[in-house]
Amino acid sequence: MSKLVTIYGGSGFVGRYIARRMAKAGWRVRVAVRRPNEAIFVKTYGVVGQVEPVLCNIRDDASVASVMSGADAVINCVGVLSERGKNSFEAVQSDGPARIARLAQEAGITCMVHISAIGADLDSDSDYARTKAEGEAGVLRHQPDALILRPSIVFGSEDAFFNRFAGMARMSPVLPVVGASTRFQPVYVDDVAQAAVMGVVGNVKGIYELGGPVTMNFRDLMALMLEVIRRRRLVLNIPFFAAKVMAFGFDMLEKVTLGLLSNGMITRDQVKNLRRDNVVAETAMGFDDLGITPVAMVSVLPEYLWRFRPSGQFDAIKESASNLRSS
């Protein structure tokens, strides 16, 4: 019988790519999610019965343990960019990974992969970065041979970064950004998935920081995105002091409305993170050590951002017609 892997958060942005690769590698895949009925699409990643979504609450011991029963390996992809109700940074990014690692140890499972993030730091003033580091520590406490991956901003057709700003550019003549000079090293989602699978089938362990082949600041990333979607927009840098005031207002609005109006703009914690470069450290192990050549943004962005062009999929046809008239 083929081996079984449980992927916590396996229907999310990164998780679904890992699930697809694990299925292609011949593994049975159990995708542990909060809403299995919304993750039915993962069944198409393998043959009938090979990939199954199951209900799991990462905050509950019994729930986490039940979905790893009989598994040969576990992968944790659960994370949040902002807190919502009971899904706080502490619960999801600090306690959650440690719970999975502890229960896996008790079940005799010694193969674990954990998706963290560049910037994880126990001493950070950002709750996001601090809890990411606490989650890593919790994993290593119970699974010392675990593979921990720290990607920079992850891009791909379902991402919440380029898609978000491209959508804004379609509606507004101005693109406001916080931390225009902050550097990032965007990494393709399937490259992260390939690295994660190596932790299961290739017996790779340790902490690896994953960044793409190009490092760019926030402003230049927006310029590249605008070039791909063929729109001219003003990229306006919001100073950190102003962003902090704005974020405080948005956070308070969410609190006074008891979450009815959620802060989907920017939080105070996100402002703190945007002050720091999000790039691979010079001394860190990375893609080179894994034998993976990361994919460049320019070869992927046009494949999914075309829908934000003025004429969508017909933009290239219009350009060709325009060239014929001018000649």
79-102 pLDDT, tens digit per residue, is: 998 888 889 999 999 999 999 999
Kindly state whether residue 312 falls inside one of the protein's structural domains: no
Greater confidence (263 vs 127) lies with 127
> Is residue 204 a contact partner of residue 145, using CB atoms and an 8 Å limit?
no
The pLDDT of residue 315 is 65
Q: Is 293's pLDDT higher than 90?
A: yes
- Across the range 128-148, mean pLDDT stands at 98
Kindly state whether residue 229 falls inside one of the protein's structural domains: no
E strands in the chain: 4-8, 28-33, 51-55, 73-76, 112-115, 147-151, 154-155, 174-178, 183-184, 187-188, 206-210, 216-217, 234-238
pLDDT band at 319 (very low <50, low <70, confident <90, very high): low
List residues bridging with 237 in a β-sheet. 177
- 224-283 pLDDT, tens per residue? 999 999 999 999 999 999 999 999 999 999 989 888 888 888 999 999 999 999 999 999
Kindly state whether residue 303 falls inside one of the protein's structural domains: no
Query: Which CATH number goes with the domain that contains 93?
Result: 3.40.50.720
Q: Is 175's pLDDT higher than 80?
A: yes
The pLDDT of residue 9 is 97
- Across the range 272-300, mean pLDDT stands at 96
pLDDT band at 326 (very low <50, low <70, confident <90, very high): low
The pLDDT of residue 320 is 59
Kindly state whether residue 119 falls inside one of the protein's structural domains: yes
CA 56 to chain centre: 20
The pLDDT of residue 7 is 98
Kindly state whether residue 323 falls inside one of the protein's structural domains: no
Q: Which domain does 129 fall in, by range? A: 4-158+186-213+278-294
Kindly state whether residue 167 falls inside one of the protein's structural domains: no
Closest CA to 193 of 43, 304, 47, 294: 294
| Number of domains present in the structure of the chain | 1
b/e 189-207 (16+ beta carbons within 10 angstroms → b): bbbbbbbbbbbbbeebbeb
- 37-77 pLDDT, tens per residue? 999 999 999 999 999 999 999 999 999 999 999 999 999 99
Kindly state whether residue 238 falls inside one of the protein's structural domains: no
Question: Which residue has 């105070």 as its token pair?
Answer: 268
Q: Is 123's pLDDT higher than 90?
A: yes
What the block records as the tokens of 100 is 């999975």
Kindly state whether residue 93 falls inside one of the protein's structural domains: yes
